[in-house]
Structure formats: C-alpha cells, structure tokens
Amino acid sequence: MSDHWCRLILIIGALTIGGAPVRGQQRPILHTDEAYIEEVTRATTLNVGDPMEVFAFVLDSLPDRVKVYPTENYYYFSFFHNGTEYAGNIRIEPHDDGGQAVHFTYYREPSEWHEDAPWTHIVLDAAHNVTVEKLDRLAYRITYRGKSVEFALNDLSAVKPPAQALAPNEKFIGPIFDESGIRFFLVYNAKLQDFHYILDETQGVADEFFKSPRTDRIVIGRRTGFAFYRDHHLDRKILIGVYESNMRLNTYFDGPFDQLPDNFIEGETLRKAILEVQPDLRGQIDRFGSAPSGEVRYMIDTYLPYRSVQELYPYHRCASKKLKSASYYDCFVFSKLRTEKGGSRRGSGAKRSGRTHAS
C-alpha cells in the first residue's frame, strides 16, 4: 500500500547535505534518482514465493525497535526485487479477549497499467515458529529465526478533539493516525446517523492545502489529494474526497477507512454506532465492527472517490442550501449526497474482502 514517491524503502538510508544539522533544526531528507536506479537495477536473491522467507527478510532488515504509526497497527514496508516493487505490511490485530493475531501480507505493487496484484497472506503464530510477546498494552515483540523486533504501537490515548470541534449530537469515537501521516478525529452524529472524519489540526498538518477554483470552502492537500470542506458553523475541516486512483490502487493515500482507532475505542461505542446505521448487522460484528471470521469489517467510507475537483462541488451546493437546516451535516456523507441527486442510498459504509466495508 505505497505511493511511488512515498514508499518506505528498507535499503536506502537517509542522505543529508553539508554535515549533521543542529539538534532541533532538521533539514529535509534528500532522495536521488541515482540511488533509485541503483536499487531497481540491483540483482537480488529472495524466494518471493515463500512467505516465511519474505517475512524473515523483512524482519531481519528492521532495527530492534520500530514505531507503528497507523492506528489499525499496520507496519508497512516495500522493497525492490530484480526490478519489481513489492509492498506489504505486518499487522497486530487486537481481539476482544485481550489476545491478538499477527498478520503478514505482501504483493507486487499494483499500478494504473497493471492493477492485478494477488496478495499473499499468513497469520504469524507458533505453527510458523514465530513467537509473539505482549510487552505492554501498546508494545509487542516478534521473534523469528533468532531475530527479535519490538513493535511500539502509536499511543494516542491522550488525543482528544477540542470541544469547539464537535457539533451538537456528535460523539467522539477515537483518534486516527493514517498511513499518509495525516491525523483525524472519527466522530458520529447520533441524530443524523452520520460518521465524519475531522482533520486533526491540534498539531502541524503534514500537507499544504490549496483552494478549489470555485470556492474557498473546499481545500485539497497537494501531497495527499485529500479534499476537505471548511465547516460553516465550526472551525474545522471535514473529509469529503479521496483521489479515486489512490483508493483503487490501495496506496498510502486511499483514505482513513482502514485506520480506525482500534486501541482507543471505548467499550461498545463503535459497534453501537454501526448498528444504529445498519441494524441488520446485529449479532454479526464484534465491537471493532469485524465479522467473527475476521475476513470482513464494516467500512466507514463517507467520502467521495473523485477524479476531478469538479466532482466535489455538489458538497458545496448542498451545504450552502442547507446552511440552517438540521440536516446540514448530511451534506458531507457521500451516500446521502447521492440520494439527494437521485442515486441509491447505501449508508455510510460498505463491504470489501480482506479487511472490509459493509453496505
């Protein structure tokens, strides 16, 4: 799940210019075409058909301790093998009983001209001679073939939205750290039965925004392509769009639907909200919104997969028209926006294979 220019490369080190920078004054990291060419043209040996060989390579390439930023506990990686880019992740999945499953997935990186990229997936457990130790609530050690790596999960337990960032009838579900490096607040409006992703601006945002040509209410990230609507009533930005090809190719910029705040969901908060939106799932999902098999998960995809900025303007037309209406915030749920335009309503979720959505 990685963009061509934003992938995690395990072999290339960071390059700095002119010596070490003064502490606290970090210079940018330089990436060169020279290094890229030397990596993609390097002849390498790795049995990519054997998932345990690939896992051994990945684990051995990591330092003794790594930080897992995304809040669904995916540790992403990529590498080149004989001119082909591979990507994947190690995911620590918490369970209701306090235990966990550790998943290992990898695949050839898909592209616009070749989207067919079958995934290889295994569960890392004792049957594969993998040892997983829980060191703390947010720390795990994974050991295989004598190599151990501690995976420190992202502790966002103290992260809360400012009081003025929540609208009436909204409940804070939890903080999200997306693999794009953007942070969100996941909120739920019980009256309207709407989920929203609110941009977390309590810290610096790792993107630069430009205004859409027609209205300054819509702003778009130059790096991520994330499109936000500047709320008329509150000083906040609501996610309304993600660039379509990023969703289709499963890049770092496919939106926060797959980075729910698993480690910070209190009790039944999320399940209760999901069942209000889609009551037919009662008895079929756990408190994380997953089916008992773990193969599917309710997907909160309230935003539009857009290809051009023009496609975002219906949000503005709806919000401007409903400015004083009780259903104003319905304008920022794509499925309800489609209903207003005559399309079929499918709720604010959907089902996908592997991790899933629900419709």
Give domain status of residue 133, yes or no: yes
Q: How far is CA 292 from CA 121, 277, 286, 289, in A?
A: 18, 19, 7, 10
321 and 197 within one domain: yes
Structure tokens at 213: 């040509």
Q: In what order do the strands lie in the sheet with 147-153?
A: 65-68, 147-153, 139-144, 131-136
Local confidence band at 331 (pLDDT 50, 70, 90 cut-offs): very high
Count structural domains, the chain: 2
Which residues, listed in sequence order, are joined to residue 131 by a DSSP beta bridge?
A: 143
Cα separation, 196 vs 154, in Å, equals 22
215 and 128 within one domain: no
Cα separation, 352 vs 358, in Å, equals 7
179 and 234 within one domain: yes
Q: Which domain does 190 fall in, by range? A: 163-340
59 and 183 within one domain: no
Local confidence band at 10 (pLDDT 50, 70, 90 cut-offs): very low
Give domain status of residue 12, yes or no: no
Give domain status of residue 83, yes or no: yes
Give domain status of residue 13, yes or no: no
Rounded mean pLDDT of the chain?
88
pLDDT at 217 over 60: yes
What was the pLDDT predicted at 357?
33
What was the pLDDT predicted at 267?
93
Local confidence band at 24 (pLDDT 50, 70, 90 cut-offs): low
Provide mean pLDDT across the span 70-85: 97
Percent of the chain with pLDDT strictly greater than 70: 87
282 and 241 within one domain: yes
Provide mean pLDDT across the span 335-352: 47
pLDDT at 174 over 50: yes
228 and 209 within one domain: yes
Long-range contacts of range 76-79, CB-CB < 8 Å, 24 or more positions apart? 76/1, 76/2, 76/8, 76/179, 76/252, 77/8, 77/10, 78/2, 78/7, 78/8, 78/9, 78/10, 78/109, 79/9, 79/10, 79/11
Give domain status of residue 26, yes or no: no
Provide mean pLDDT across the span 311-321: 97
What was the pLDDT predicted at 102?
96
Residue that is last in its domain, among 122, 153, 184: 153
279 and 168 within one domain: yes
pLDDT (tens digit per residue) in 157-172:
999 999 889 999 999 9
Lowest mean pLDDT among 48-52, 70-74, 139-143, 289-293: 289-293
pLDDT (tens digit per residue) in 238-258:
999 999 999 999 999 999 999
pLDDT at 358 over 90: no
What was the pLDDT predicted at 95?
82
pLDDT at 340 over 50: yes
For 165, counting Cβ atoms within 10 Å of its Cβ (0-12 exposed, 13-18 middle, 19+ buried), the class is buried
pLDDT at 23 over 70: no
pLDDT at 56 over 70: yes
Provide mean pLDDT across the span 2-19: 37
pLDDT (tens digit per residue) in 200-212:
999 999 999 999 9
pLDDT at 264 over 50: yes
What was the pLDDT predicted at 92?
96
Q: How far is CA 65 from CA 61, 62, 147, 149, 152, in A?
A: 11, 8, 11, 5, 7
Cα separation, 1 vs 80, in Å, equals 14
What was the pLDDT predicted at 12?
34
119 and 51 within one domain: yes
What was the pLDDT predicted at 116?
86
219 and 291 within one domain: yes
| pTM for the whole structure | 0.87
Give domain status of residue 46, yes or no: yes
What was the pLDDT predicted at 20?
40
Give domain status of residue 317, yes or no: yes
Give domain status of residue 21, yes or no: no
274 and 201 within one domain: yes
Local confidence band at 337 (pLDDT 50, 70, 90 cut-offs): confident
What was the pLDDT predicted at 339?
55
129 and 90 within one domain: yes
pLDDT at 178 over 60: yes
What was the pLDDT predicted at 18?
36
pLDDT (tens digit per residue) in 94-126:
887 778 899 999 999 999 999 988 999 999 999
302 and 168 within one domain: yes
What was the pLDDT predicted at 100?
87
